[in-house]
Amino acid sequence: MIVFLAALAVTPWAHPLAFRPMPGWQTGASGNRPSRYGRPGKQVARPEESAAWAAMAVRYSDDATADPPNKTLAHLPPNGVLVWAVIYTAATRGQAPIRLVFDKAKRFDCCEGAYVAGGEYELTGSGPGAAYSTIVRIYFGSRPSSSLRADAQHALDRLALPAVR
C-alpha cells in the first residue's frame, strides 16, 4: 500500500491542472478525466487529461474541457481575455518543455465555430519532467493591446502546472 501511495505522489494526476486565484478573473477546472487527446502510435494504458480556464470580462459557459470553448468565445467582449489549458498523457518524445511566456505564443485565426476578433494564440510543450503534454490557448476579444497582453501574461503566471517529484 505504501508503494502505491508513493507512486501517486510522483504523478501529475495527484494534483490536477488549475489556475491560482486572480482578482478580477473567474477560474475553473475539470479535474482529471479520461483523455480525448492522444498521439498516433503511442499507447497509454489509461490516458488522462486535466483542463483549466481563466476568464476576464466574460462569463465562462462551456464545459471545462471544451476545445475550443465556443459558447464562451461567442460572448467575448473587446476587453475580454480567455486562457484555456489542458495537460494530457503522454508527452511526445523530444518535445521541448513549455514556456508560459505570451511573447512565445503562435497566433492562429480562431476558431472552429465562434468568431474571435483578437484571434487565438497557442503555447505547447511538455510539462515538468516530460511527464505530460501541455496546450495553452489564449483568446482576445479584440486585437490585443499591451494591456491585454499583460493581462494574458498575468494569467499564464498563475497557471499551476502539476510538478512531478
The pLDDT of residue 71 is: 96
Low-confidence ranges of the chain (pLDDT < 70): 1-11, 38-47, 91, 165
Cα 103 from Cα 106, distance rounded (Å): 8
**Residue 85: CA count within 13 A, CB half-sphere:** 35
Q: What is the pTM of this model?
A: 0.88
Estimate to the nearest angstrom the gap between the alpha carbon of 125 and the chain centroid. 11
Q: What is the DSSP letter of 8?
A: H
- Collapsed DSSP state (helix, strand, coil) of residue 18: strand
> For position 57, what pLDDT does the model report?
98
For 31, other C-beta atoms within 10 Å of its C-beta total: 14
| 3-class state of residue 133 by DSSP | strand
Q: Which cell is 68 given?
A: 475550443
Q: How many C-beta atoms surround the C-beta of residue 34 within 10 A?
A: 8
C-alpha distances (whole Å) from 62 to each of 49, 50, 70 are 17, 15, 7
* CATH architecture of residue range(s) 2-38+47-160: Sandwich (2.60)
The per-residue pLDDT for 37 is 76
Domain segments of the chain: what residues? Answer: 2-38+47-160
Tell me what pLDDT residue 1 has: 41
pLDDT at 165: 67
Q: How far apart are CA 34 and CA 25, in angstroms?
A: 27
Question: CA dist 17 to 48, 96, 107, 142, Å?
Answer: 12, 19, 23, 27
